[in-house]
Structures are given as C-alpha cells and as structure tokens.
Amino acid sequence: MIDSHCHLDYEPISSNLDDIIKRSKNEGIEKLLTICTTKESYKNILKIINSDKIIFGTFGIHPHEADKNEINKFEIISSVKQNKKIIGIGETGLDFFYNNSKKEAQIKSFETHIEAAIELKLPLIVHSRSAEKETYEILKKNYHQDLKILMHCFTGSTSFAKKLLELNAFFSASGIITFKNSNKLQDTFKTIPIDKLMIETDSPFLAPEPMRGKKNEPSFIKYTADKLAFIKNVPSKTLIDFTTNNFNNLFFKS
C-alpha cells in the first residue's frame, strides 16, 4: 500500500515518527508521501524524508496559507531541486469554505504552482473545497500535456470528477469515504475508473471508521482501502495493487 498524502511534520505524528513508521511498515505500506503546506514546514519535510527510505515529500503552499506565503515559480523550482526525494508540487489549490486567505491570493498561488509543475514535469497535488467551478476553470485554462493532476482527498461531485477525467486527473480517496454520511461521495467514486484512483490518510486528520475520533496515522489506511474496494466491487488486494501501481506510474514514470 501507499499513503499518497499525509502530514508527517504535524503533531502528534512528528514526535512519534519512529513508531508511526514502524506501524506503517507492519501494515504493508511501502511508500509515504508527506505533504508540504508552508515555506517554514518545508524545512521539516526535508529532514523527515531523509529519516527513512519509504518517505518521500513535496513542496507547496496550502491555499489556507497563500496570503502569508507568497511564492513565485522560481522559488518552487529551486526548493524542489534541493532533494531528489521531493517528487511532487503541492498541496495547492483553492479553499473557499474558509476565509483563511483571499481568493485572489489563492488563485495566484495555484496558477504559480501549476506553472512550476509543468516545467518540472512533476505531479500537482490539488486541494479543492467549495471551489469546483474555479478549480476546474483554472486547471483547464492552464492545461498542458506535461501537467499531471492528483485531486487530493477528493470530495467533489460526479460532474466535477467527469470534467477532471477529461484532463487525465487522478483522484485520491481519504477516510471520508468510510463515513456514514458519505453516500454521494461513494457513488462518485463508483464512476471513477480504478486506474485513476489512489488512497490516502491525510493524517493526522480524517481518521476512517472504525478509528474515527482518534488522531489519524498512515497505518489506518487499510480501512480506506477496504472501503474503496467494497465501493468498486473488487477484492482488497486488487484495489491495493491498482492504487499502488497508479501512484508509482504517476510519480516515478517519466
């Protein structure tokens, strides 16, 4: 299994990282992608990816942080080139559910990340909440054959997913699909081809059932994998094989 999106620099994970990694390996996780959200957090990301061979990282500015972390394309490119284990750009995107950053700042930051991802030919990890129309329009407007899109913790509509598939996007399912009130989201994942799917924890957030209420960690990803396999009506091993291959093809196949 591969956890395509976690935050190993966040507490309570960072202070218990050795135990977290041990439990991850015991559950059969072969790669962890720890996601950058601010310029400051990148310092910790660089340390963490060197702590174990299964850990890889990204560089990016979360939309919540766009106001306080103005960035240009060259800063992104130079940051990514600091370590070969930095394999993605993000997380970036749009979040209009909260007002943590102005819309204009989020859009500018998102487009800057897209430019860098295209130039570097690295996957773009996209966060989208309450911004389906704007997210699609920006991705469509800036689309390029070298743009590789991964919709992180996808909670969008079926119509949104259909549009994104036209841009060759991938979709990552989080523990949200295990929640009792996620029927619409489960129906959307039924429509997404299995060769476009990945799984993630977004830990320490969004612990899946039956661990809901606890701080999430990568070893809990098995519950999301089992639920997604049920939704797709395939054996868990088949689902795990597909999501693992999808991750490796997106991030490691040139």
Residue 99, pLDDT score: 78
Residue 164: domain span = 2-252
- pLDDT tens for residues 187-200? 999 999 999 999 99
pLDDT tens-digit readout, 119-178: 999 999 999 999 999 999 999 999 999 999 999 999 999 999 999 999 999 999 999 999
Comparing CA positions, the residue from 150, 200, 140, 138 lying closest to residue 173 is: 200
* Percent of the chain topping pLDDT 90: 98
Q: Phi, psi at residue 207, to the nearest 5°?
A: -60, 135
Q: Band of the pLDDT at 98, cuts 50, 70, 90?
A: confident
Contact indicator for 3, 33 with CB cutoff of 8 Å: yes
d(CA 16, CA 4): 20
* Structure confidence at residue 100 as a pLDDT band (50, 70, 90): confident
State the pLDDT confidence band at 49, using cuts at 50, 70 and 90: very high
Contact predicate 36/59, CB 8 Å: yes
Q: Three-state SS for 55?
A: strand
Q: How confident is the model at residue 253 (pLDDT cuts 50, 70, 90)?
A: confident
Neighbours of 15 (CB within 10 A): 9
The pair of structure tokens assigned to 27 is 């559950």
Residue 254's pLDDT band (cuts 50, 70, 90)? low
- Give CA 42 to chain center in angstroms: 16
Q: Please report where in the chains the tokens 């996209």 appear, as a residue.
A: 126
Joined together, the tokens standing for residue 218 give: 């990568």
The C-alpha atoms of residue 32 and residue 165 are separated, in whole angstroms, by 25
DSSP-based three-state secondary structure for 89: strand
CATH number of the domain that 242 lies in? 3.20.20.140
Summary mean pLDDT of the chain: 96
For 166, the 3-state DSSP assignment is: coil
Cα-only R_g, the chain: 17
203: tokens are 């830990």
Total domains in the fold of the chain? 1
